[in-house]
Structure 1
Amino acid sequence: MTAKQSQMKQPESSTAVIPRTEVVKDTPAVERALNRSKIYLLISWSMLYPEDDEFLDYLQSGEFVEDGRLALESLRSALDGNGGERAKQKIAALLKHFDSIEKWIAAECINWQLSDLQGEHRRVFSNVITLDCPPYETLFGNDHVFAQSHVMGDIAGFYKAFGVELSRDIHERLDHLSVELEFMHFLAYKESYSRCHDGADKTQIVVDAQKKFVKNHIGRWVPLFCRMLARKADSGFFKLMADVTTDWMDFEVAFLGVNPQPYSETDYRPATFSAPEGQTYECGAQDQGNELSMLLNEVGAQTFLEKEEKKEESGPVGTA
């Protein structure tokens, strides 16, 4: 994406020149992280309500499909066996999905106005929280507000550990699909930077965070959400993106080597979430007015992950 299309504030050090020796030393791993980061960004942006023409232009220009294909092809070339045969199969499936998106754009979207894309988003997601396919993690597997608060707190812990602040411009919850996927975009991007500039220990912190967030969060609820989204959308862009997201989550589970326990249809027991008194939740996104403000805090990340390890050693605690 162009700088205009992605207004995220990256750490100042990320603009530094990457030492050539480090790039050569670990190019496949850096490429894997960068391209995974790109796919997370594309999916995250696609699920947001379009406030202006920017995303529609991105679709109609062909750049959305082009960026997706390039990221997937580069990722496939750099896999080096990571994720095994399953990862390779999922990349092939994802490339076919982008072919379908390209056909949909040529046949239908090319003549759309912003109001058409906004109308399609409202049709699928409604103007209020729809129970047909709610893009909020805490509505899955948590039929009591206290359980929802616990999960919300765990998500907030991940964000805080890496110094991630959510935009104050657009009000949304911490557990929104786009916010969580953008957090994974950030972690994968951070991994690529860390492999070039930091030592193995700091890089492992970021890798472990990705594994934990997929295992304990998006790997659990997003697959069920995608099935619900596919049913609700039935056809069109969001049906296509449901298919993309489903196979992307399958790829990530294989690539990261994690074993999430995905929710089933019977685990969908939505309850009304009430934010704790005095707290509001706002979303981060990729376009202007929705950016994540990323201020890295390595010590905080280390402390948080060490606490998580101690929890796992002492028994099943939290959302695992």
Structure 2
Amino acid sequence: MTAITHVHRARLYKLASMAFDRPDEEFEEVLLSGTFEQQLLESAAVLENEELEEHATAVAEAAPTDEDVVDELYSEWAGLFGFEEGGDIQLYQIEYSPGTLVTSTDVLADISGFYKAFGLSMEDENRERADHLCIQLEFLSHLALQTAYLENEGDETGVEVVTDAQGSFLEDHLGRWTGRFRETLDEEADVEFYRALATLVDSLVGDDTDRFGVEPKEFEETPPSPLEGLNDGEGDFRCGTCGTTPSGSTPEMPMGNREGPY
């Protein structure tokens, strides 16, 4: 795999994270400008996975581009995922996994351990748990960019370390529940954009599990949440604080941040 492959993997994870987050003015802007659609299709094409390209095309076709429709996106998101409008589709890994409060706390600790191992911090003003979908997608985007940097630097040991981390995180965490999440949206969501986006994420995760040679054991059913009403007090490391800069000069590549897509 080349550095550019990892850059486009990073972009896809980043775009998916942005799209599943609570819509804001910045995301509305990239939808209206066509940037979201353009970069989604471009990156999917670079990965040369026909199924992934098909799902990216479905997301692009379902993405709102008219100002009036884009304005409705917030209420559609809230109706599916937001507490303010009674949305009951969960964006957290723990909600899809069996287990007690103790085992769930261990899972959260393990996820946080991955983040800390790569120098990531959670912003205090944001209160999402470490198992939130957008944060997990953002984390893999960060690791993919690190891989691209290390590939350009010729750091084989560094590439091996970050590659192993991506495989382990997919096998132990994200790869275990994106299938259940996709099925939940297929069954319960009536907004085609989010249904198509969930399918794209599951396909991207599947492409990467093949790439890294791991086999996540998918959660089979959605149990009652062991953490209902509980916030572990951790913030959100998004909004431009996700990660440390590797030593040495950074190659010219679209690193991006929370200001918008790459």
* TM bucket normalised to smaller: 0.7 to 0.9
Question: In the alignment, residue 104 of structure 1 is paired with which amino acid?
Answer: A
1:92 partnered with 2:53: no
1:1-320 aligned within 5 A: 28-50=1-23, 52-76=24-48, 91-105=49-63, 109-112=65-68, 115-127=71-83, 132-197=88-153, 199-265=155-221, 268-272=223-227, 274-275=230-231, 280-285=233-238, 290-295=239-244
So what's the TM-score if we normalise by structure 1?
0.71
Whole-Å Cα distance in 2 between the matches of residues 165 and 186 of structure 1?
A: 13
Specify every segment of 5 or more residues in structure 1 that has no aligned partner in the other structure, as ranges: 1-27, 77-90, 299-320
- How many residue pairs match? The answer is 246
Q: 1:139·1:148 contact (CA, 8 Å) conserved in 2?
A: no
1:130–1:142 Cα change, 3 Å: farther
Name the CA shift for 1:168/1:114 in 2 (closer, same or farther; >3 Å).
farther
RMSD: 2.3
Q: 1:248 and 1:165 mapped to 2: Cα distance?
A: 25
How far apart are residue 162 of structure 1 and its match?
0.6
Distance 1:231 1:214, change over 3 A: same
CA distance in 1, matches of 2:236, 2:132: 7
Structure 2 residue aligned with 1:10? none
Q: CA deviation at 1:131?
A: 8.4
- Larger Cα-atom Rg: 1
State the SS of the aligned residue for 2:115.
helix
**Aligned-pair CA distance for 1:103:** 3.1
In structure 2, the residue matched to 1:83 is none
Which AA in structure 1 matches 2:22? Y
Distance 2:156 2:12 in 1: 25
Deviation at 1:264, TM superposition (A): 0.8
Q: Return the letter of the residue paired with 1:75.
A: L
CA contact (8 A) 1:97 1:240 kept: yes
SS at match of 2:151: helix
1:133 positional shift: 2.6
TM-score (norm 2): 0.85
